[in-house]
Amino acid sequence: MPALGSIVARILRCALAAVLLPLAVAPAAGAQVGGAVPEAAEPVERMALGNAAYERAEYFEAVDIYRSLLDEGYEDPDLYYNLANAYLKAELLGWAILNYERALRLAPRDADVEANLAYARSRMVDIIASENAPWLVSALASVHHLLGVPQTLWLTSTLWFAVAAVSILGVLRPAWRNRVRILMLGLVVLVVLSGVSAAFKIYDLEARAPGIVVVEEVQVMSGPGAEYAREFVLHAGTGVEVKRAYRGWLEVALSEEMRGWVSADAVEPI
């Protein structure tokens, strides 16, 4: 019986989620209702249609077009950026910040993305205290965030090939060995730095699983369920770290002290 009860409970929960999830994302998907998206068109043309909808102030239609492209597997920083703009104009702050973050991962040096992300964050309710890091750490972090994961991996790989080429040159031309030694030393340092930066980014992507609160307000519970105690409230746009998922609930953390469980539909991973 317990097994049967558990199965029934899971079915009911899934059914509830099937009903509630569309409601939760209804504003985002609102454009799907009225929009006739010409999916047969080229993706670039469809994105242009989304831009036209945005410029007509039909933001939900623009959101629908942009999301349809993403759902088909297309990925581009400008697509995320325009989607985030449309969300912001549609007053969906959490979704806007989420997509700005995604755009920033692909284009870390895009000034427009940074500016609009800062603007969106200025409208957040939650204030997250940030610690002032030492200047050296801040400088290294700035360099670290100059490139995205693919660019950092390519840079590391290129430097790695350069180290090999210089090493081979030193083997085949013993007379040049002293000359290439300094060059190789510098290249090795760069490879190590670039590799460490890439490793951190991959770790951040794979292990930390950062997420953004996309609903206007969510209560953080002490356990994965509504019956647990309410510990604090988060609002749209706040960044959290997703620790684990359990039965439609996500354990999220702002810090070691502030962590709890939220409904899985309240937080979207970046």
Partner 1 sequence: MGCVAAVALVFLAVSPGEGSEVSVRAAVAQRTVTVGAEINLSVIVTGSGLRSLPDPELPTIEHAAVYPAGRSTSSSFSLVNGRLSSTNSVTHNYVLVPEKEGELVIGPITVTHRGETQRTAPLTVAVVAAGTSYGASPRPSQRPESADGGGRDLFVELTTDKRRAYVNEQILLTFRFFTRVNLLGQPQYEPPGMTGFWVEPLPKEPSYETVIEGVPYLVVEVRSAVFPTRAGTLTIQPATLRCVVEERDPFSSRDPFDRFRRGVFGMMDRGREVTLRTDPLEIEVKSVPEEGAPPSFEGAVGRYRLTMEADKTSVKEGDPVTLTVTVVGAGNVNTISQPHLPDVPGMRAYDSGARVDAAGSADGLEGRKVYEHVVVPEVSGEFSLGPAEFSYFDPAEERFETLTAGPVQVSVAPGPVAIGPEPELPQRREIRVMSRDVRHIHPAPAHLARAGQPRHRSVWFLVLQVVPVAAYLGAVGYRRHLERLNEDVGYARSRRADRRVRRRFSEAHRHLHDPDSLEFAASLEKATRDFVGDKFNLSTVGMTYDQLEKSLRSRDVPRSLVEQVLDCLRVSEQARFCPTRIGIEERRDLLERAEGVIARLGKHRG
- For binding to partner 1 (CB under 8 A), which residues are involved? 43-45, 47-48, 51, 54-55, 69, 72-76, 78-79, 81-82, 85-86, 88-89, 112, 115-116, 119-120, 149-150, 153-154, 157, 160-161, 163-165, 167-168, 171-172, 198, 202, 205
Nearer to partner 1, 39 or 72 (CB): 72
Q: Which amino acid, one-letter code, is at 89?
A: K
Smallest gap, in angstroms, from Cβ of residue 118 to partner 1? 10
The Cα 251–Cα 26 span in angstroms is 24
Smallest gap, in angstroms, from Cβ of residue 202 to partner 1? 5
Nearer to partner 1, 191 or 250 (CB): 191
Smallest gap, in angstroms, from Cβ of residue 153 to partner 1? 5
Smallest gap, in angstroms, from Cβ of residue 259 to partner 1? 27
Nearer to partner 1, 93 or 220 (CB): 93
Contact 264, 250 (CB under 8 A): yes
> Which residue, 132, 123, 144, is CA-closest to 238?
123
Q: Which residues contact 51 (CB under 8 A, 6 or more apart)?
A: 62, 82
Smallest gap, in angstroms, from Cβ of residue 47 to partner 1? 4
Smallest gap, in angstroms, from Cβ of residue 111 to partner 1? 8
DSSP string, 203-263: HIIIII-EEEE-SSEEEEESSSSTTSPEEEEEETT-EEEEEEEETTEEEEESSSSSEEEEE
Q: Which residues contact 29 (CB under 8 A, 6 or more apart)?
A: 22, 63, 64, 67
Distances (CA, A) of 105 to 102, 110, 123, 204, 265: 5, 10, 21, 11, 22
Nearer to partner 1, 67 or 224 (CB): 67
Distances (CA, A) of 169 to 157, 159, 172, 182, 189: 18, 15, 5, 13, 19
Nearer to partner 1, 114 or 216 (CB): 114
- ∠ CA 229-230-236, nearest 5°, is 155
Smallest gap, in angstroms, from Cβ of residue 219 to partner 1? 29
Which bin fits 102, alpha (ψ -120 to 50), beta or left (φ > 0)?
alpha
Nearer to partner 1, 6 or 158 (CB): 158
Nearer to partner 1, 65 or 215 (CB): 65
